[in-house]
Chain A
Amino acid sequence: MPLIEAKNLRKSYGALLAVRDVSFTADRGEVVGFLGPNGAGKSTTMKLLTGHLRADSGSAAVAGHDVAENPVEAKRHLGYSPEGAPAYGEMTVREFLRFAADLRGLADPAERVRATLDLCRLGEVAGQSVDTLSKGYRMRVGFAQAVIHDPEVLILDEPTDGLDPNQKHEVRRILKDMAARKAVIVSTHILEEVAELCTRVVVIARGEIRCDETREKFLARGADLNAVFRQLTA
């Protein structure tokens, strides 16, 4: 059974059909890159997978748990960082991660917080309130809360958005280290990220999947990835 399974997901906002019959699977060891223009339906698909939004029809399952029928169990196996990495601004980084650990009922939450601070290189800002952090650190905090429980499934909405090249490299490095043990979905606008990080590419435009293939196959479409992207999303 795949760790992530979407079957004919459909979601509309009023008259706008944001996601139409999206189906795909992802298994352990896969890093699936979600590519698509703004408003293509990437974030909506992710919100449907995490159970934040309810699908009009179709189904989604995380680690074998249907997100509509068994949402709490599905969410236990899931780490999710929404776009912009929201966090409780008045809490310090350590307090915020401790809250995430406590809410998930993790054993030895203090140790989990310490390990996650180390993993995400947040130690030096652990005592700072989230509101005072730079965007790069905020994104890392968002990433940290998503991985604190070492989930089987990781869904990250533009995790490298706004990061400088060094920070991007760092996030990708951490993701690569984890990837063998997890199914990861990463949405991105950065086509180079596909080559560097992903094992599979799903291109979404106007709410539907335009291409779902291995990285190698996607890269073989042409040397100019921007032209490939434009062609697929036209």
Chain B
Amino acid sequence: MKDSPSSGAAFRAVLRREFAGYFRTPLAYVFLAVFNAFAVSLAFFVGGLYEAGVAGLDRFFLYHPWLWAFLAPAAGARLWAEERRQGTLELLLTWPVTVWQAALGKFLAAWLFLACALAITLPVAFTVGWLGDPDVGVIAAGYFGSLLCAGACLGVAAVASALTRSQVIAFVTGFLGCFVLVLVGYGVFDELLSGAFSSGAIDEVRRVGLWRNLEPFTLGLVDARPAAYFLSVAFAGLGLSTVIIERR
């Protein structure tokens, strides 16, 4: 049998290693438990999912931008910061893999991990289905939108991780970046901007808010514009982190 070096082999190896890496420490299980606990608690105890008496998950998804803003940087902090800290970045980048392949493999592994976190909340959807007669398409669209939202937050986290060798700094920086994207679109943010910008300009700014773009999905609308927004942020973050690592 001959060696078959290909860009696909390198990408797949990075993807597998990174995804398995999340489960090598108990931290991943803590992460999944925390995400699940917060997602469910916020929906039921803060959002009043049960009291609302509506067979839908809009109150469940309402808090997802906040959850992703906190947990995507937590999952993404290790992407590059850990490689820098361990000195393995030098090793990885002297193996036959391009920075782009490595970055994509790492990013997709982290996104897949966040998808696992989201999948663990599926019993909430089953519960709503058991209690009432929800529109399955609307719930599926909500989950799809939430996953895209997670990707956008991960894009911000990837940039933060590429900038430092400290996972703590990467997490805080990533969280702050995502926090701004969550705040945009909330009334308090509008008030802050109202002194300096016209209402038209503020409305434009609101378009980049995470909730503003997630909301159509929670109503069952799989719209191209918010999907493109989330993917743009995700892949812009991925691209920028790649450039940062290439110019290290």
Taking beta carbons and an 8 Å cutoff, which residues of A are in contact with B?
47, 50-52, 71-73, 75-76, 78, 80, 82, 84, 86-91, 99-100, 102-108, 145, 149
A91 contacts across to B, CB distance below 8 A:
17, 24
A78 contacts across to B, CB distance below 8 A:
94
Taking beta carbons and an 8 Å cutoff, which residues of B are in contact with A?
1-7, 9-10, 12-14, 16-17, 21, 24-25, 86-88, 90-91, 93-98
In the complex the two chains form, is A103's CB within 8 Å of B25's CB? no
Contact of A50 among B5, B88, B94 (CB under 8 A): B94
User: Nearest residue in B to A96 (C-beta to C-beta)?
Assistant: B17
B96 contacts across to A, CB distance below 8 A:
72-73, 75-76, 103-104
In the complex the two chains form, is B5's CB within 8 Å of A104's CB? yes
Roughly how many angstroms separate A145 CA and B88 CA in the complex, as a whole number?
12
Write 22 A-B pairs (CB below 8 A) sorted by A numbering.
A71-B98, A72-B97, A75-B96, A76-B96, A80-B94, A82-B91, A82-B94, A86-B90, A87-B91, A88-B88, A90-B21, A90-B25, A99-B17, A100-B95, A103-B14, A103-B96, A104-B3, A104-B5, A104-B95, A105-B3, A106-B5, A149-B3
13 new A-B contacts, CB < 8 A, other than A52-B93, A86-B90, are A47-B90, A82-B87, A82-B90, A86-B86, A86-B91, A90-B25, A103-B97, A104-B5, A104-B10, A104-B96, A105-B3, A105-B6, A106-B3
In the complex the two chains form, is B5's CB within 8 Å of A76's CB? yes
In the complex the two chains form, is B87's CB within 8 Å of A86's CB? yes
Roughly how many angstroms separate A103 CA and B9 CA in the complex, as a whole number?
6
A87 contacts across to B, CB distance below 8 A:
86, 88, 91
In the complex the two chains form, is A145's CB within 8 Å of B91's CB? yes
Roughly how many angstroms separate A99 CA and B105 CA in the complex, as a whole number?
13
B27 → chain A closest CB, angstroms: 10
A220 → chain B closest CB, angstroms: 35
Contact of A107 among B4, B10, B14, B17 (CB under 8 A): B4
In the complex the two chains form, is B24's CB within 8 Å of A107's CB? no
In the complex the two chains form, is A102's CB within 8 Å of B13's CB? yes
In the complex the two chains form, is B94's CB within 8 Å of A105's CB? no
- Known contacts: A104-B3, A105-B4, A105-B5. The answer to whether A75 contacts B88 by CB under 8 A is no
Roughly how many angstroms separate A50 CA and B92 CA in the complex, as a whole number?
11
Roughly how many angstroms separate A87 CA and B88 CA in the complex, as a whole number?
6
B15 → chain A closest CB, angstroms: 11
Among B1, B9, B14, B90, residue most surrounded by chain A Cβ atoms (within 10 Å): B90
A86 contacts across to B, CB distance below 8 A:
86-88, 90-91
In the complex the two chains form, is A89's CB within 8 Å of B86's CB? yes
Roughly how many angstroms separate A108 CA and B110 CA in the complex, as a whole number?
28
A27 → chain B closest CB, angstroms: 21
A75 contacts across to B, CB distance below 8 A:
94-96
Roughly how many angstroms separate A98 CA and B97 CA in the complex, as a whole number?
16
User: Nearest residue in A to B87 (C-beta to C-beta)?
Assistant: A86
B3 contacts across to A, CB distance below 8 A:
104-107, 149
Roughly how many angstroms separate A78 CA and B96 CA in the complex, as a whole number?
9
Roughly how many angstroms separate A84 CA and B24 CA in the complex, as a whole number?
23
User: Nearest residue in A to B102 (C-beta to C-beta)?
Assistant: A103
User: Nearest residue in B to A78 (C-beta to C-beta)?
Assistant: B94
Contact of A84 among B16, B87, B93 (CB under 8 A): B87
Contact of A103 among B13, B86, B88 (CB under 8 A): B13
Among A71, A88, A108, residue most surrounded by chain B Cβ atoms (within 10 Å): A88
Among A51, A105, A149, residue most surrounded by chain B Cβ atoms (within 10 Å): A105
B24 contacts across to A, CB distance below 8 A:
90-91
B244 → chain A closest CB, angstroms: 15
B86 → chain A closest CB, angstroms: 6
Roughly how many angstroms separate A149 CA and B94 CA in the complex, as a whole number?
14
Among B5, B7, B9, B91, residue most surrounded by chain A Cβ atoms (within 10 Å): B91
B95 contacts across to A, CB distance below 8 A:
75, 100, 103-104
Among B4, B6, B86, residue most surrounded by chain A Cβ atoms (within 10 Å): B86
In the complex the two chains form, is A108's CB within 8 Å of B1's CB? yes
Roughly how many angstroms separate A82 CA and B17 CA in the complex, as a whole number?
21
In the complex the two chains form, is B86's CB within 8 Å of A88's CB? yes
User: Nearest residue in A to B11 (C-beta to C-beta)?
Assistant: A103
User: Nearest residue in B to A46 (C-beta to C-beta)?
Assistant: B94
Roughly how many angstroms separate A211 CA and B102 CA in the complex, as a whole number?
39
In the complex the two chains form, is A107's CB within 8 Å of B2's CB? yes
